[in-house]
Amino acid sequence: MDSSDGKRTRNPWLGVFGAALFLISTHGFAQSIGVVQSYLELNQLQDYQTSDIGWIIGLYSLLSLVLGIIAGPLIDYFGIRPLTAPALVLSTLLYFVMAECTNYWHFMLCLGVLGGVGGAVASTLAISAAGKLFVERRGTAIGFALAGASVGGVAIPLLLNATFPRFGWAWSMRILGFIILVLNLIGSLCLVLVSDQVPLNTDLGIRSAAPSLEAFGSGTFCFTTVGFALIELAMFGINGLLPTFAVSVGFSLQTAYVLLSVLAGSSFFGRIVAGVAADYIGSFNALVIMNTFSAVVTAALYVPFGDRSPKALFAFASLWGFGSGSCLSLVPACVGKTCDRKDYGRYLGTMLSVTSISALIAIPAGGEMLDRFGPRATAGFFLATAVGSSISFTFARWRLGGKFLNFTQAI
């Protein structure tokens, strides 16, 4: 394409592809974090409880979300080009440093702190780029970008399942690191090539790069944030503890790894289907429908049968992945309805920072419940958070102007 001033304008879908590659190493790794946790429980950190190791994962998840409140405004003011290099370095370095970790505090600093900071920069950059490049087809763009996370969620557990027995921890991490390096280099190039098409917010000067609480003036934004915090609590808890959950009820570790790949594989289709549907029936309509679907699946399969039926657990993993994966791609699109395009990074980062508390406590709290009360009570807790999330999203849709339970209006 050519712009009016004679300069060549590159297809913005190139930026979506670059965002998808970045999200393999951030959201994709986060979806696979249960593989790392279960391996550490049986090896380097075998003397620690599930909840103890969960605090490492919790810190990683917390920082990867809470620092979005800084990364988002920086993207609004400076654009995506200056942040691609830090995102590349931080999100790739994690795997090579983690290969050398042996003690609890090593993993806390490397995976928890370094991984969290790198994840915040790279994931906020990627999602903001996809959201800023499109308006009318924002749902489809974010859905395809986040499909990259699903690819990582499928490939990373399978890769580690194959490399752990053969090469051990250190070289498994290095092999993964080299793969991520190549993907992130390509992703960086794609984002840089379309960076001039991303609108900037320089209205307030350098203050535009500072965090702001103005988003909370929107009731729709507040209800959306609460709903996302609740479904994030369920998603981080279920996705992170699924291997541990499976092993605790008698399944093999290999079966547990396959469960994560099944979950991530189905989320790939959920994110694309929901993203495309959102552009036709409305982002909030699609979000309420898919989140309610996730709650129903949890109630029908995970709570009554997840601790005693392998078939039910596999069915739940596939259906939960489809539903919860849809929510991850729909929420950023819904955030775009609460703000101007140039402020998208600020609003997205603010929401991610608030929901970070869910990421911090999900696995430690879920692990503690699993140890104390068993799998069924833990599943019931995650069901309650999923139901609460659906209610909050319904109120967000209502505040935006839709009739409470009338979904014929595209919102």
| DSSP string covering 43-62 | TTTTTS-HHHHHHHHHHHHH
More confident: 249 or 227: 227
Q: What is the pLDDT of residue 5?
A: 46
Percent of the chain surpassing pLDDT 70: 93
Average of pLDDT values for 59-83? 84
**pLDDT (tens digit per residue) in 234-257:** 888 887 777 777 777 777 777 777
Q: 74: closest CA among 187, 196, 208?
A: 208
Nearest to 259 by CA among 201, 320, 339: 320
* pLDDT bracket for residue 114 (50, 70, 90): very high
Query: 205: pLDDT confidence band, cut at 50, 70 and 90?
Result: low
Query: In the predicted model, what is the mean pLDDT of residues 160-167?
Result: 89
Run of H or E including 195: none
Spatial CB neighbours of 187, under 8 Å, sequence gap ≥ 6:
17, 18, 19, 20, 21, 22, 88, 126
Structural element, H or E, at residue 201 = none
CATH of 13-399, one of 3.30.460.80, 3.40.50.300, 1.10.268.10, 1.20.1250.20: 1.20.1250.20
Q: Is the distance from CB of 240 to CB of 57 less than 8 angstroms? A: yes
- Where residue 204 falls among pLDDT bands split at 50, 70, 90? low
75: Cβ contacts below 8 Å, ≥ 6 apart? 83, 124, 125, 128, 129, 345, 349
Average pLDDT over the chain, rounded to an integer: 84
pLDDT-derived band of residue 3, with 50, 70 and 90 as boundaries? very low
pLDDT in tens, 8-22: 567 888 999 999 999
pLDDT above 80 (res 195)? yes
pLDDT band at 185; cut points 50, 70, 90: very high
Average pLDDT (193-212) is 70
* 39-59 tens-digit pLDDT: 888 888 888 887 788 788 888
**Is the confidence at residue 219, as pLDDT, over 60?**
yes
Distance CA 59, CA 360 (A): 6
Which residues touch 250 (CB under 8 Å, ≥6 apart)?
none
Q: Average pLDDT of 322-335?
A: 86
Q: What is the pLDDT of residue 20?
A: 92
Q: Are 267 and 150 in contact (CB under 8 A)?
A: yes
Domain boundaries, the chain: 13-399
Supply the DSSP symbol for 67.
T
What string of DSSP letters covers 108-147?
A: IIIIIIIHHHHHHHHHHHHHHHHHHH-STTHHHHHHHHHH
User: Cα angle at 292 between 59 and 142, to 5 degrees?
Assistant: 60
CA distances 219 to 69, 222, 356, Å, are 19, 5, 20
In this predicted model, what pLDDT tens digit does every residue of 350-380 receive, in sequence order? Answer: 888 888 888 778 777 887 887 788 778 888 8
**pLDDT surpassing 90 at residue 217:** no
- Summarize pLDDT for 252-305 with one digit per residue, the tens: 777 777 887 788 888 888 888 888 888 888 889 999 999 999 999 989 888 887
Q: How far apart are CA 13 and CA 174, in angstroms?
A: 31
What residues does 58 pair with on adjacent strands? none
Q: Which residue has the higher pLDDT, 109 or 245?
A: 109
* Percent of the chain scoring above 90 in pLDDT: 24
Structure tokens at 304: 């009554």
DSSP states along 211-278: ---GGGG-HHHHHHHHHHHHHHHHHHHHHHHHHHHHHHTT--HHHHHHHHHHHHHHHHHHHHHHHHHH
Reported pTM:
0.77
